[in-house]
């Protein structure tokens, strides 16, 4: 059910001296959802809203709260309705507050969200992000909930205004939707068939991001390496990597998530030959059993998967490879699970996102026989996690002694204040906590967006420590345009409008309105 709506109009204040209405966007899900939330924030700011301050965002104190939902995992609905239940009391205490629900679960459950949580004002889907400001205004005017779910993509999200959460690193969508038919995954049903952007549009957005200060860009797609299928060029993704990587001023290019079945050697060659493409790969395994992979409709087998990893490491010996794995798919035997353990041991992943299978209504796997008992799935899951924790620790300990360049990030290290460290990502995307030299003046400290060269001194399963500076060892700061852009945002000097289509901007508003609820590795399903 879709209707033609007028273009978003600014929200008129109640009186000439009234403050603009504030907003908060909360994100549950993968990197695609995080980027969609940036579009939602951009549209709201174009319509006259302002981001809640970090303190107000933490307290969920805003005039409009948007929840961008996920439908991939079993607890997605629990997370949504838990949030909504908590916000019901907040809304009663705050006259005029509005709550909107968008994203994959909204696309799936539709009007059922309002039926279950009648205090919700707006429900919109994955195909019509652009209607959010209009639906909010309509709900305010009509004093009733507005639900609008489009059955197909109305506006390519990348043409929408965007409030970038980071000025030093950004996402660029190269496609939306997915043509695969994995039996466990509901994403194609909710996101639709794959739609590819033209290469020139992608490169223009990358260039715009870099011109505004970003030095790292991540290309996004539900099946990123099948890019080009819509316009008939199966080599398009490798070409895009080379062309985007050549953008003047770009220092780091990443992408997520590829599908093993479509991963070709020309992509490996492009990664190895393009200095700005980082030595990092997220390659979803899902299962190491060929029998289970067939039941999942994953059109590759374990040996092909391992062969890809071998070729990637031959071309980029220092590449860090991460993955997704599902435990307890219907009919999985102990022998099948043993095959998964074998492939994980052979793959030497730097880290893995591991999930217990949960049936998703509307997927073929939900109706398969031999759904496994929870206790069996839990026991296997714990064995898999223990194996991967050991491998992650061994792989990270093997990094000790290496000198790496770290892109300092904002908010990566939860204990940075207590440990007097900064945090960021090495080129291979490993998380690094780094010490500063004793007596370093505050004005000389690295800023988010700056690059710091340090030597790794300790490895743990989920992070690395570089305390070389604390003992007079390696420590060199390269101040960057990205650090300058971060500093300008902090001082409010970079404010500019959101008026242009595809605006890739950040704003002078306080950072922090998007709250992440799940890991930010792109997930194909669980």
Instruction: Using alpha carbons only, give the angle 352, 180, 294 rounded to the nearest 5 degrees.
Output: 70
Please spell the DSSP secondary structure of 29-83, one letter per residue: SSHHHHHHHHHHHHHHHHTT-EEPPHHHHHTT--SEEEEEE--SSTTHHHHHHHH
Band of residue 494 on the pLDDT scale cut at 50, 70, 90: low
**402: nearest Cα among 455, 439, 444:** 455
Handedness of CA 175, 180, 181, 183 (dihedral sign): negative
Does pLDDT of 350 surpass 70? yes
Last residue of a domain, one of 148, 174, 203: 148
Distance, CA of 462 to CA of 346 (rounded, Å): 19
Last residue of a domain, one of 123, 148, 173: 148
Q: Are 465 and 438 in contact (CB under 8 A)?
A: no
Distance, CA of 480 to CA of 477 (rounded, Å): 9
Any domain includes 232: yes
Structure tokens belonging to residue 238: 């490798």
- Domain of residue 339, CATH code: 3.80.30.20
Distance, CA of 295 to CA of 391 (rounded, Å): 28
Any domain includes 436: yes
Distance, CA of 165 to CA of 410 (rounded, Å): 10
Last residue of a domain, one of 347, 363, 397: 397
Any domain includes 17: no
In terms of C-beta density within 10 A (0-12 exposed, 13-18 middle, 19 or more buried), how is residue 414 classed? exposed
3-state helix, strand, coil in the chain (%, to 5): 35, 20, 45
Kindly state whether residues 349 and 207 are assigned to the same domain.
yes
- Domain of residue 440, CATH code: 2.40.50.140
Distance, CA of 272 to CA of 278 (rounded, Å): 9
Structure tokens belonging to residue 2: 């879709």
Kindly state whether residues 303 and 330 are assigned to the same domain.
yes
- pLDDT (average), residues 22-28: 93
By DSSP bridging, strand 64-69 and strand 22-27 are: parallel
185: annotated binding-site residue?
yes
Kindly state whether residues 316 and 281 are assigned to the same domain.
yes
Any domain includes 329: yes
Kindly state whether residues 325 and 200 are assigned to the same domain.
yes
Band of residue 500 on the pLDDT scale cut at 50, 70, 90: very low
CA 247, distance to chain mean position in Å, is 22
Residue 73 has a pLDDT of: 67
Structure tokens belonging to residue 293: 């992979």
The answer to pTM > 0.85 is no
Kindly state whether residues 168 and 83 are assigned to the same domain.
no
Residue 197 DSSP code: P
Residue 153 DSSP code: -
Task: State how many domains the chain has.
Answer: 3
Kindly state whether residues 79 and 45 are assigned to the same domain.
yes
Torsion angle of the four alpha carbons 483, 486, 491, 493, in this order, in degrees rounded to the nearest 10 = 100
SS3 143: coil
Distance, CA of 436 to CA of 438 (rounded, Å): 6
Distance, CA of 526 to CA of 524 (rounded, Å): 7
Q: Are 26 and 69 in contact (CB under 8 A)?
A: no
Greatest distance between any 2 Cα atoms in the chain: 71
Any domain includes 523: no
Residue 104 has a pLDDT of: 87
Lowest mean pLDDT among 118-122, 340-344, 462-466, 515-519: 515-519
Kindly state whether residues 266 and 368 are assigned to the same domain.
yes
Lowest mean pLDDT among 94-98, 202-206, 503-507: 503-507
Does pLDDT of 460 surpass 50? yes
Structure tokens belonging to residue 448: 């988010």
Any domain includes 294: yes
Bridge partners for 69 per DSSP: 103
Residue 414 has a pLDDT of: 80
Kindly state whether residues 207 and 125 are assigned to the same domain.
no
Kindly state whether residues 249 and 143 are assigned to the same domain.
no
Does pLDDT of 91 surpass 80? yes
pLDDT tens, position by position, 290-342: 999 999 999 999 999 999 999 999 999 999 999 999 999 999 999 999 999 99
Any domain includes 422: yes
30: annotated binding-site residue?
yes
Does pLDDT of 465 surpass 80? yes
Distance, CA of 324 to CA of 282 (rounded, Å): 8
505: annotated binding-site residue?
no
Please spell the DSSP secondary structure of 339-385, one letter per residue: HHHHHHHHHT-SEEEEEE----TTSGGGG-S-PPPHHHHHHHHHHHH
In terms of C-beta density within 10 A (0-12 exposed, 13-18 middle, 19 or more buried), how is residue 219 classed? buried
Q: What percent of the chain has pLDDT over 90?
A: 69
Q: Are 461 and 396 in contact (CB under 8 A)?
A: yes
Residue 472 DSSP code: T
Kindly state whether residues 80 and 180 are assigned to the same domain.
no
Q: Are 212 and 168 in contact (CB under 8 A)?
A: no
- pLDDT (average), residues 363-385: 95
Q: Report the mean per-residue pLDDT for the chain.
A: 88
Distance, CA of 279 to CA of 277 (rounded, Å): 7
Kindly state whether residues 218 and 247 are assigned to the same domain.
yes
- Domain of residue 124, CATH code: 3.40.50.12160
Any domain includes 513: no
Does pLDDT of 450 surpass 90? yes
* Domain assignment of residue 112, given as a range: 22-148
Residue 399 has a pLDDT of: 98
SS3 431: strand
**509: nearest Cα among 2, 108, 57, 18:** 57
Distance, CA of 429 to CA of 38 (rounded, Å): 22
Kindly state whether residues 98 and 53 are assigned to the same domain.
yes
Structure tokens belonging to residue 471: 């003992």
Structure tokens belonging to residue 499: 């008026």
Structure tokens belonging to residue 489: 């945002």
pLDDT tens, position by position, 35-71: 889 889 999 999 999 999 989 999 999 999 999 998 7
């Amino acid at each position: 059910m879709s209707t033609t709506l007028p273009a978003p109009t600014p929200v008129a204040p109640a009186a000439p001296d009234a403050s603009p209405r504030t907003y908060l966007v909360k994100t549950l899900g993968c990197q695609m959802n995080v980027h969609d939330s940036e579009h939602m924030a951009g549209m709201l700011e174009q319509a006259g809203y302002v981001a809640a301050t970090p303190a107000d965002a933490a307290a969920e104190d805003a005039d409009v709260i948007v929840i961008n939902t996920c439908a991939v995992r079993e607890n997605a609905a629990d997370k949504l309705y838990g949030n909504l239940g908590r916000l019901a009391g907040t809304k009663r205490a705050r006259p005029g507050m509005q709550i909107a629900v968008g994203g994959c679960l909204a696309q799936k459950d539709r009007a059922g969200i309002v039926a279950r949580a009648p205090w919700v004002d707006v429900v919109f889907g994955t195909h019509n992000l652009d209607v959010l400001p209009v639906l909010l205004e309509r709900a305010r005017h009509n004093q009733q909930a507005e639900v609008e779910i489009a059955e197909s993509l109305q506006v390519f999200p990348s043409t929408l205004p965007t409030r970038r959460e980071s000025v030093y690193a950004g996402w660029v969508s190269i496609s939306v939707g997915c043509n695969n038919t994995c039996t466990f995954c509901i994403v194609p049903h909710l996101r639709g068939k794959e739609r590819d952007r033209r290469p020139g549009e992608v490169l223009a957005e990358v260039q715009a991001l870099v011109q505004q200060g970003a030095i790292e860009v991540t290309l996004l797609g539900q099946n990123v390496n099948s890019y080009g299928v819509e316009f008939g060029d199966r080599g398009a993704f490798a070409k895009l990597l080379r062309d985007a990587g050549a953008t003047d001023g770009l220092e780091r290019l990443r992408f997520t998530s590829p599908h093993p079945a479509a991963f070709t050697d020309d992509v490996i060659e492009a990664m190895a030959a393009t200095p700005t493409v980082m030595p990092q790969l997220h390659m979803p395994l899902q299962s190491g059993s060929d029998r289970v992979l067939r039941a999942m409709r994953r059109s590759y087998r374990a040996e092909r998967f391992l062969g890809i990893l071998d070729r990637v490491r031959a071309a980029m010996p220092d590449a860090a490879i991460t993955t997704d794995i599902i435990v307890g798919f219907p009919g999985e035997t102990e022998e099948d699970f043993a095959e998964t353990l074998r492939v994980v041991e052979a793959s030497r992943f730097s880290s893995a996102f591991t999930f217990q299978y949960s049936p998703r209504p509307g997927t073929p796997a939900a109706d398969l026989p031999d759904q496994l008992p929870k206790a069996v799935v839990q026991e296997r899951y714990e064995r898999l996690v223990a194996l991967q924790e050991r491998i992650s620790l061994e792989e990270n300990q093997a990094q000790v002694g290496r000198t790496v360049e770290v892109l300092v990030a904002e908010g990566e290290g939860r204990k940075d204040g207590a440990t007097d460290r900064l945090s960021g990502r090495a080129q291979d995307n490993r998380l690094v906590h780094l010490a500063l030299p004793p007596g370093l003046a505050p004005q000389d400290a690295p800023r988010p967006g700056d690059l710091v060269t340090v030597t790794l001194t300790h490895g743990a399963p989920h992070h690395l420590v570089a305390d070389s500076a604390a003992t007079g060892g390696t420590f060199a700061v390269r101040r960057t345009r990205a650090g300058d852009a971060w500093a300008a945002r902090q001082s409010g000097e970079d404010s500019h409008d959101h008026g242009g289509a595809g605006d890739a901007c950040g704003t002078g508003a306080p950072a922090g309105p998007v709250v992440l609820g799940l890991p930010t590795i792109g997930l194909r399903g669980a």
